[in-house]
Amino acid sequence: MTSTPQVDTSRLEAYWREQWRLMLTLLVIWFAVTYLHPPFAASLNKIKILTGFPLGYWLASQFSITVYVILIFIYALTMNNVIDKKYGYEEEE
Amino acid sequence: MAQEAGYTPLTRTQLSEFRRRLARYYGAFFVFLIVFTLVLYLLERAGLPHRFIGYAFIFLTLALYAFIGILNFTRRLEEYYVAGRRVPAIFNGMATGADWMSAASFISMAGTLWLLGYDGLAYIMGWTGGYVLLALLFAPYIRKFGQYTIPDFVATRYGERARLARFIAAICAIIVSLAYVTAQVSGVGIVMSRFFGLDYRVGVFVGLAGVLVCSFLGGMKSITWTQVAQYIILIVAYLIPVTFLSAKLTGVPFPQLMYGKALSEITQLEQAMNLSSYVQPFKQALSNASAIQAFQQIGLTPPQPITVRDWVGTPWQFLAFTLCLMAGTVGLPHILVRYYTVPSPKEARISVGWSLLFIWLLYVTAPAYAAFSRWEVLQNVVGQPISALPEWTANWIRTGLLKITDANNDGILQFSELSINGDIVVLATPEIAGLPFTIAALVAAGGLAAALSTADGLLLVISTAVAHDIYAKIIDPNAPYGRRFLLSRIMILVAAFIAALLAIPQFALIVQLVAWAFSLAASTFFPVVLLGIFWKRANANGAIAGMLGGLIACFVYMIGNYIDPRFNVLGLSHLSAGIFGMLANFILLIVVSLATAPAPKYIQDMVDQLRIPVGEMHLPAPGPAPGTAPGVAPAGQD
């Protein structure tokens, strides 16, 4: 109980690399949907979509924030159901 | 760590039974809220005076919070600090939503969008995008670490200088949270006085009573279950008025989709009236108007008014401010501690998703509020004879939130003759939509729920920072359990009292402090916790240098630019000062860590454990722990 538990280093390292890959991919998408459209908002606004939204405004007010929600669920479900399983990091019962 | 005997985590079957029971309770509560609103509506039609409808809503909601508070009375520290770590992901999501969405989100954000147009969207993106960072970089690791506070994490991860690191972290947590809680308390006073005609000061104390019944008795446990109820009230109250308004103006009761029509109508009206475009980005000039106001209020000699327009039209302030809000979100202690309360790191990951989904629901709707009411104002208020303005304006002119002056004496209201306080956007929507007073009272109850739920979480952070971090961990590590508990409760009262005292004079500086809280959190906690998890080489010297340097850099830019906007980099305002604090923190943390000895082996092993998403943490015991003997590899036994 009090002794430091044994950490299987090579398994952890492989697991950590794989989680890094997923994390970086999602962070790149996060960065893109946050920072790539506002600098061009003025020009994008000339395009109207859906019920009349100027595109630049719509990207910031609806698109980006909806992508954020999706990114988190993709991360959580992939980690919990795929990557953790693959490396045997599962809850015991 | 004084772990209590006999406190075992729930098994998976017990957890899912618990979840089902919670779903039944809150489902019943939701139905009750709707029925209650309908009954009051019928009573209103039968002639019940508005005042009583208002009181019914305040009384019902405060009584409910008190009831949950009393029901969850606890004598266990594990429940008082982290709700027993058995809050299911989805309910923690709702509680985080309520914890996060304050009086400012509920009442003022739509108004800010109304006033700032595109530039206001930095708040929408910043206050949601931060949750992506929270999910990917923080939440599961904070849960795995599994202590009670954020200073706990800083002190353990940077254990070579545990006491100093803990002290700095606790002080930062107190500063950030106290500024924020003061704003909530003042939000309660505003809701009370605007809707129910109570005196602002009376409103503050009634609201505080509502906060205290919860946090005082049951700590995090009762706060959590109250916050879930508060989320339900606030989201229902937020969605109903704008849905009716959308149906009235466009024929479709789906505001989030239909405000596109409002935006294109606004654009046409603006062109006809030669106004600047609502959706045009980057219109904000730098000015020290708020500093002048704040200085005058305290009685100091205000600086000369200065406006800097050089950077209008460039995106830098928008981008930097968004990043500041995101990093600040992740660094706010009252949000981070919510992820201590879920059963496991896996639940923590999902829970952030639920949190953001529940927050998204409000944030995707706020711009609709702003657009519809701007449409209403441009179409039916501006350009009309002052003697024939729509009926709803009269009420709000009386409260002073809406000001009209016929500057050119032509009897017609021009846009420039109109001055609007942003809060009116949400508050007046029920009337604009022609809804009964019952709905307006529901909105008030929602605003109250938003302010109280955030205040609850913050007061607990402040009291734990003092009672747990400063007293029990630094001043008297052998303090008996009962005394620590008593001190926690006393500190909640003290913090609430201080917040009320600070809120009463309604200092403009407080509003400013809240906006700055994000920069402060971004400059202190964000880099230290992030590198603590992802970079084993980070050590205590680096962390302490980073936090102090970050704080100083942030303050220098903030104060400098606040007083004299000519002091700026790329046109960034004092609201974005966190960028410089964060940068200084990261650089110092990395450079000083590399220049001094790496973190000892036992801490690096701890970081390894953090990264494993299952099992409990085994923290090195304080004092002569095995870790203090450097280079001792863990033996092969289990």
Dig out the tokens for B121 from the structure: 């969207």
A59 located within any domain: yes
Rounded CA separation B467/A27 (Å): 37
What ipTM was assigned to the predicted interfaces of this complex? 0.94
- Of the candidates B90, B217, B157, the one whose C-alpha atom is nearest the C-alpha of residue B149 is B157
Q: Do A65 and B128 touch (CB under 8 A)?
A: yes
Q: What is the pLDDT of residue A17?
A: 96
Q: Do B350 and A15 touch (CB under 8 A)?
A: no
Q: Report whether B593 contacts B544 (CB < 8 A).
A: no
- Which of A19, A34, A80 lies closest to B346 in CB terms? A80
Nearest-Cα distance to chain B for A25, in Å, is: 11
Strands B418-420, A48-49: pairing kind: unpaired
Residue A2 has pLDDT above 50, yes or no: no
Residues in chain A: 93
Residues of chain B with C-beta less than 8 angstroms from the C-beta of A87: none
Q: Report whether B305 contacts B292 (CB < 8 A).
A: yes
A25 located within any domain: no
Q: Do A91 and B346 touch (CB under 8 A)?
A: yes
∠ Cα B91 B361 B343 (to 5°): 20
Rounded CA separation B508/B183 (Å): 10
A29 located within any domain: no
Nearest-Cα distance to chain B for A12, in Å, is: 7
Residues of chain B with C-beta less than 8 angstroms from the C-beta of A2: 618, 621
A84 located within any domain: yes
Q: Which candidate in B11, B92, B143, B263 is best for mutational testing of the A interface (most A CBs within 10 A)?
A: B263
Q: What is the pLDDT of residue A31?
A: 97
A45 located within any domain: yes
Domains of chain B: 20-378+429-616 (1.20.1730.10)
Residue A93 has pLDDT above 60, yes or no: no
Q: Is the dihedral of CA B316, B322, B325, B330 positive or negative?
A: negative
Q: Do A73 and B137 touch (CB under 8 A)?
A: no
Q: Is the dihedral of CA B62, B67, B68, B70 positive or negative?
A: positive
Which residue in B has a C-alpha nearest to residue A23's C-alpha? Answer: B136
Within B252-360, strands assigned E span 286-287, 307-308
* Side chain identity, residue B60: L
- Which of A6, A60, A91 lies closest to B614 in CB terms? A91
A8 located within any domain: no
Domain extent for A62: 34-88
Rounded CA separation A56/B253 (Å): 24
Helix axes B50-71, B437-464, angle to 10 degrees: 30
Within B243-350, strands assigned E span 286-287, 307-308
Nearest-Cα distance to chain B for A87, in Å, is: 10
Q: Mention every residue, 6+ apart, whose C-beta is less than 8 A from residue B325.
A: B122, B123, B125, B126, B127, B129, B130, B518
Q: Mention every residue, 6+ apart, whose C-beta is less than 8 A from residue B525.
A: B150, B154, B169, B172, B330, B331, B333, B336
- Contacts by residues B26-33 (CB-CB < 8 Å, ≥ 24 positions apart): B26/B91, B26/B228, B26/B229, B26/B232, B29/B229, B29/B232, B30/B232, B30/B236, B33/B232, B33/B233, B33/B236
A62 located within any domain: yes
Q: Do B608 and A58 touch (CB under 8 A)?
A: no
Rounded CA separation B160/B208 (Å): 40
A75 located within any domain: yes
Letter string b/e over residues B122-136, b meaning 16 or more CB atoms within 10 A of that residue's CB: bbbbbbbbbbbbbbb
Residues in chain B: 638
Total domains in the fold of chain A:
1
Rounded CA separation B125/B323 (Å): 9
| Tokens 């299952």, residue located | B614
Per residue in A10-43, pLDDT tens? 999 999 999 999 999 999 999 999 999 999 999 9
Q: Report whether A70 contacts B353 (CB < 8 A).
A: no
Q: Do B626 and A4 touch (CB under 8 A)?
A: yes
Which residue in A has a C-alpha nearest to residue B318's C-alpha? Answer: A38
Q: Model pTM greater than 0.95? A: no
Rounded CA separation A73/B132 (Å): 10
**Strand (E) or helix (H) holding B420:** strand B418-420
Q: Do A30 and B129 touch (CB under 8 A)?
A: yes
- Which of A50, A60, A93 lies closest to B11 in CB terms? A93
Residues of chain B with C-beta less than 8 angstroms from the C-beta of A80: 346, 349-350
Rounded CA separation B6/A86 (Å): 34
In chain B (638 residues long), the average pLDDT of successive 10-residue segments reads 58 89 95 95 93 88 90 86 92 95 88 92 95 97 93 94 94 89 84 77 82 82 94 96 93 95 94 90 89 86 90 93 95 93 95 97 96 92 89 83 87 89 86 90 92 92 92 90 87 90 78 83 95 96 96 94 93 94 98 96 93 86 43 36
Q: Do A30 and B279 touch (CB under 8 A)?
A: no
Q: What is the pLDDT of residue B627?
A: 39
- Of the candidates B605, B100, B152, B142, the one whose C-alpha atom is nearest the C-alpha of residue B347 is B142
Q: Is the dihedral of CA B552, B554, B555, B561 positive or negative?
A: positive
Q: Do A75 and B125 touch (CB under 8 A)?
A: no
Q: Which candidate in A29, A68, A71, A80 is best for mutational testing of the B interface (most B CBs within 10 A)?
A: A68
Nearest-Cα distance to chain A for B463, in Å, is: 30
Residues of chain A with C-beta less than 8 angstroms from the C-beta of B608: 7, 9, 12
Dig out the tokens for B109 from the structure: 């954000």
- Of the candidates B23, B4, B7, the one whose C-alpha atom is nearest the C-alpha of residue B89 is B23
Q: Cα–Cα distances in Å, from B129 out to A31, B98, B107?
A: 9, 17, 21
As separate numbers, helices (DSSP H) first and strands (DSSP E) second, chain B gives 25, 4
- Of the candidates B56, B589, B344, the one whose C-alpha atom is nearest the C-alpha of residue A79 is B344
Q: Cα–Cα distances in Å, from B523 out to B70, B124, B173, B274?
A: 38, 21, 12, 42
Q: Do B349 and A89 touch (CB under 8 A)?
A: no
Q: Do B356 and A60 touch (CB under 8 A)?
A: no
Rounded CA separation B344/B347 (Å): 5
Which residue in B has a C-alpha nearest to residue A61's C-alpha? Answer: B121
